[in-house]
Structure 1
Amino acid sequence: MTLTQLEIFSLVAELQGFTAAANRLGISQSAVSHALKSLEQELGVELLRRHQSPIELSDIGQQLLMRARAMLGLADTLRQEAADARGMKRGTLRIGSFGPTSSIKLLPKILQHYRATHPGIEVHIDEGPDRQVIQWLEQRRIDIGFVVLPEERFDTVALIQDQMVALLPVDHPLATRDSLSLAELCHAPFVLTEAGSSELVSRLFSAARLTPNIRYRCSQLLSTLDTVARGDGVTVVAESSLPEHSDRRYVKKPLSPAVVREVGLAVLDRRQASPATRAFIELAVRMRF
């Protein structure tokens, strides 16, 4: 068993295909197939169901994937610790980001300074909903992720605080109010954006024992804002996720009682994090947002 075989296995599982994995690695599809076949023969189990499209992992393959990613992560940490001794000239950092707050307002500023300080570190960024970033962390697909705090499952550091606000069409009957309760938002059609803090919004209504009248589910915040601006519904979003120049067709109102949201960085175990990951955390904490 080699790290190369484990890397190929992990990538085939992630991309759900031999061709995609081969293209990512810059090798032939036959080389990918041969590496996985040799790994299966050595382990004596079938890792993939090849007759499926897209390719699926077998039950034992699912179990071994977590171990493989853990071993690859440890190997990368060892390489980076050696690189750290040489001035951290090489290494890889995999970051998970969600929504405009982290992808537009936090991450670019951090990366600008990080790349200047550590130009030899190769940075990979995956974007998805907040719950997917949590899943990527648990699966070890990323080294560090932006998350909504608190997150007890991980080692975390806080970076920014903002508040959740209601958005309504400018001509909505409630648009003249100074603030709005969650209960008042349950009567109108509701737009749930799954790009950012969708889990937090769902938990807020659930904790209040309320059920919003969800008519729309948007994968992008811009779609949510456009839906509200057209007058088709109301929504609740994080204030820092909004564009600097908001559309005049909708209005922003604080919630009553106020709901504070905190965004930070999370890793599985900070003590075992790679030098590149620790450097990213230390830089982010020193910055002012």
Structure 2
Amino acid sequence: MSLVKYEILNKVAEMKSFTKAADVLGLTQSAVSHAITGLESEFGFSLIHRNRSGVTLTREGEEMLVTIRKVLYFNEKVHQEAAGITGLIKGTLKIGVFTSVSANWLPDILKIMENRYPYLRIELIEGDYLEIEQWLLSGEIDCGFINMEHSDQFNVIPLKKDRLLCIVSNESSLYHHASVRFEDLEKEPFIMPAYGGYHDVKRLFEENGIQPAVRFELMEERAIMSMVAHHLGVSILPEMVLDPLLPELRAIPLETDSYRSIGLATRYALSPAAEKFAQITQSWVTNN
């Protein structure tokens, strides 16, 4: 079995389009369609639902893709290890990231990787905590930054405890407080960060028996800060996302130190490229 057909199915699943997959792979659309039809004939069942809005995997296709991605991963690992024997790190490394990591850490880390391993191609896929964990489990990425170490299905390298702070505007009654009590937050309209997976802010409220008056839920941190700056409520955000902080805002510590724990989650069978990335990332975060 040629791995080319596996690579085509994987790319069609990622792009949700025959045309886009063909463009990325440098193939014709008919070649992509022929490869998928060939796989379906070999397996004896349909892999793809075809409709006007695009393509999606069948249930059987989703099951097969998990194993196919493992085959592709270990094929990539074999080639990386062979290159390593000759003193090279090359191939492709796919990394799951969320916004604050890609903005604050990755420019320097990727520059180091680029300088040391010029033959390595790195792909970044941005999502929230839950999406990154799902991509790791499905084999879509090689490693990814996550919030918590609560899964035994992959290894997690602890990187940073990122302090959670209350963000208020200069018109808020909390603006001049040295710290913010959780019960104070019940008296203010609250703008809730929205993302999938382990949720630090909701956990804090649950642990302290607080029911905030949630006015909006937003995913983008800059949008949350803009809402707060326009006196529409208060919020809680990680310290990493607050640079720069708008002049009309103040970041105030909570009454008890609260953090999100950022780690780099990897497969247990690390490829040489993923191993180098993990080492460089851990070193850079420790020294910065």
TM-score (norm 1): 0.93
Shift of the 54–188 alpha-carbon distance from structure 1 to 2, 3 Å rule, reads: farther
**Matched residue of 1:13: which SS?**
helix
**Residue 51 of structure 1: CA displacement?**
2.9
Distance 1:182 1:6 in 2: 52
Aligned pair 1:253/2:252, yes or no? yes
Shift of the 196–162 alpha-carbon distance from structure 1 to 2, 3 Å rule, reads: farther
1:125 is aligned to 124
Distance 2:195 2:104 in 1: 15
User: What CA RMSD, in Å, does the superposition of the two structures yield over aligned residues?
Assistant: 1.8
2:74 is aligned to 74
**Residue 20 of structure 1: CA displacement?**
1.1
On the 8 A contact 2:90/2:273 being kept in 1, the answer is: no
- Aligned match for 1:277, one of 274, 279, 285: 274
2:156 is aligned to 156
Task: List gaps (5 residues or longer) in structure 1.
Answer: none
**Residue 234 of structure 1: CA displacement?**
0.9
On the 8 A contact 1:191/1:234 being kept in 2, the answer is: yes
Aligned pair 1:50/2:50, yes or no? yes
Distance 2:116 2:132 in 1: 26
Alignment of 1:6-17 (within 5 A): 6-17=6-17
**Matched residue of 1:178: which SS?**
coil
**Residue 198 of structure 1: CA displacement?**
7.2
Distance 1:198 1:285 in 2: 22
Shift of the 259–196 alpha-carbon distance from structure 1 to 2, 3 Å rule, reads: farther
**Residue 88 of structure 1: CA displacement?**
2.2
Q: Which amino acid aligns with 1:188?
A: E
Distance 1:224 1:54 in 2: 33
On the 8 A contact 1:128/1:195 being kept in 2, the answer is: no
Shift of the 2–187 alpha-carbon distance from structure 1 to 2, 3 Å rule, reads: farther
**Residue 106 of structure 1: CA displacement?**
1.5
**Residue 152 of structure 1: CA displacement?**
3.1
1:33 is aligned to 33
**Matched residue of 1:46: which SS?**
coil
Summarize deviations over 1:103-147 as a string: whole Å, max 9, x none. Answer: 122222211111111111000011122222112111211111111
**Matched residue of 2:160: which SS?**
strand
- The runs of at least 4 aligned residues of structure 1 exceeding 6 Å deviation read 195-198
**Matched residue of 2:51: which SS?**
coil
On the 8 A contact 1:3/1:72 being kept in 2, the answer is: yes
Shift of the 59–76 alpha-carbon distance from structure 1 to 2, 3 Å rule, reads: same
TM-score (norm 2): 0.93
**Residue 262 of structure 1: CA displacement?**
2.3
